[in-house]
Structure 1
Amino acid sequence: MRLYAQTPARRNRQLLVDLIAVTLIALTVRAAFFVRDIIMLLAEPGQKVESSGDGLAEELGNAGDAASDVPLIGDVLKKPLQSAADASSGFADAGASLQASVTQVADVTTTALIVILVLLILVLWLPPRLLWIRRSMIVRRLADAPGGADLLALRALTGPPAALVELPAPPGGFADAWRRGDQEAIATLSAVALAHTGLRP
């Protein structure tokens, strides 16, 4: 199995397209993670709310513990402080929940961007490459088979005429030479068919 053409022009085009495809995939992944970093900036207010809520809850809890030591009215003083501490813990939980939601959105967006864009690149890139690999295998197998040169010559005759214009035609033309079994003309036409695929005789 041959991955690249033998003729320099086609091989260089294939290498260039492969390089572009790989570069686009790498840029797509990088861009997706950049988008994730931008989305994660939305989690910063949640971090601040969580941190502030935890700090306030701790301070109010400490104040409530200290107030409970006051004789006679300690329990009365502690109750509102403890309620305020519980409310502050609720704020902290809300901040943590916001961060979790933002993280989930960032992860889903990043995954979707990578999967969709990479699949699009692969759909545009891989089928032509695989088709060429398959075609080159068939043409090479045909060239090596008995009588394969005749079939390749026929393929050159039925292919784009531009490939034959610059070649010195035998008397009566290439079609007549092929019908007569002219081995030199058949070899020339076979080489044209191979070159059209990007292979050498």
Structure 2
Amino acid sequence: MRLYAQTRARRCRQILADLIAVLLIAAAVWFALAVRDGIMLLAEPGRKVEDAGDSLASGLDRAGEAASNVPLVGGILKKPLQSAAEAGNGLSDAGQTVQDVVGRVADLTAFALILTSVLFVLALWLPPRVRWIRRSALVRGLLDAPGGADLLALRALTGPVKALAAVPVPPGGLADAWRRGDAYVIDDLSRVALRQAGLRP
């Protein structure tokens, strides 16, 4: 199985198409990651809320511990401060939840963008490449099969006329020479068919 043509012009076109496909996929990944970073900026308020909740909870915990040392009323003062510290922890948890949700949305968006872009590029690039690989294998198989050169010569005769310009025309024309089984003409025509397929004899 041949992945690239043997003729220079077609091989260059195939390599260029491969490079363009790789560059498009790389650009799509870069764009998706940039979008993800942009979405992650929305998590900044959640981080601030989490930090504020943590600071509030730790401050109220310290105040509660300090209040518990007050004679007679220390236990009474400590309870509302501990309740307020728990509310601060709830605020911190809410901030963390916001960050988690934004992170999941950012990841899913980036994944969807990458998947869609890669599938789109592959849908444009892969079918022609697979068709060429299969066609080149078929043409190469025809050349090696008995009577395959005749079929390739016929393919050249029915192809573009400008491709036949390099073939010497015998008396009576190329088609007549092919019908007579002229080995030289058949060989020349089969070479034309191979070149059209991007292959060399």
Quickly name the TM-score band, shorter chain normalised.
over 0.9
Tell me whether 34-43 or 95-104 shows the greater mean CA deviation: 34-43
Query: Could you list the per-position Cα deviations for residues 115-169 of structure 1 after superposition, in whole angstroms to 9, with x for gaps in the alignment?
Result: 1111111111111111111111110111112211100011111122231245432
Deviation at 1:72, TM superposition (A): 2.1
Aligned residue number for residue 105 of structure 1: 105
Task: Map residues 29-68 of structure 1 onto 2, 5 A cutoff.
Answer: 29-68=29-68
Aligned residue number for residue 3 of structure 2: 3
TM-score (normalizing by structure 2): 0.95
Task: Map residues 133-144 of structure 1 onto 2, 5 A cutoff.
Answer: 133-144=133-144
Which whole-Å CA distance do the structure 2 matches of 1:116 and 1:2 have between them? 29
Which whole-Å CA distance do the structure 2 matches of 1:35 and 1:173 have between them? 64
Preserved CA contact (<8 Å) 2:167 2:189:
no
Preserved CA contact (<8 Å) 2:2 2:133:
yes
Aligned residue number for residue 186 of structure 2: 186
* Matched residue SS, 1:142: helix
Query: Could you list the per-position Cα deviations for residues 14-68 of structure 1 after superposition, in whole angstroms to 9, with x for gaps in the alignment?
Result: 1111111112112222221121111111111111110110111110111112112
Contiguous gaps of at least 5 residues in structure 1: none
Deviation at 1:172, TM superposition (A): 1.9
Which whole-Å CA distance do the structure 2 matches of 1:132 and 1:65 have between them? 78
**Alignment identity in percent?**
66
Which whole-Å CA distance do the structure 1 matches of 2:159 and 2:23 have between them? 34
* Aligned AA (2:176): D
Aligned length: 201
Contiguous gaps of at least 5 residues in structure 2: none
Aligned residue number for residue 78 of structure 1: 78
* Matched residue SS, 1:15: helix
Q: CA RMSD in A?
A: 1.3
Which whole-Å CA distance do the structure 2 matches of 1:64 and 1:70 have between them? 10
* Matched residue SS, 2:70: coil
TM-score (normalizing by structure 1): 0.95
Which whole-Å CA distance do the structure 1 matches of 2:90 and 2:149 have between them? 82
* Aligned AA (2:81): L
Aligned residue number for residue 124 of structure 2: 124
Which whole-Å CA distance do the structure 1 matches of 2:45 and 2:169 have between them? 79
Which whole-Å CA distance do the structure 1 matches of 2:172 and 2:17 have between them? 41
Aligned residue number for residue 150 of structure 1: 150
